[in-house]
Amino acid sequence: MAKRPDTAIVALTLRIREPLRRRLENAAKQRGVSLNSELAERLESSFRKEDFGKALDDRFEKQEAIQKKRYDNLVKTLREEYGDHFAPGYSGSQRSSAFGFAKKPTFERKKDTSE
């Protein structure tokens, strides 16, 4: 079967219950469009919502990965500056214990022992 161009208009037979047909017809009348236009717009709209949801999920996952990386870098920096007093139980992905302290912190920078 040959592929139709995207601009082709095709006829489709649809079987639906009468209450749904009446509801669609009333919605079409309120908008001042044909029943066919109402059906086509509602179908296209459902796909736009689906596509938007997927795009939103992808964006959220990317943002979450960025935030996790920033958070991990912050913890690493704080550990380098304040030693193991900061977040002793932190394993890189456990945010719940990230601000726990082994003992009361003094927040003094570690002394440089390289001299």
| Full DSSP string of 72-87 | HHHHHHHHHHHGGGB-
Residue with tokens 């040959």, as numbered in its chain: 2
CA angle 92, 96, 97 (to 5 degrees): 70
User: What letter would DSSP give residue 18?
Assistant: H
The span from the CA of 100 to the CA of 86, in Å, is 7
Model confidence band, residue 57 (pLDDT cutoffs 50, 70, 90): confident
Overall pTM > 0.85: no
User: 49: which 2 tokens?
Assistant: 């919502």
Query: Does the pLDDT of residue 56 top 50, yes or no?
Result: yes
- Percentage of the chain beyond pLDDT 90 is 26
User: What letter would DSSP give residue 46?
Assistant: H
Model confidence band, residue 18 (pLDDT cutoffs 50, 70, 90): very high
- pLDDT for the residue numbered 111: 61
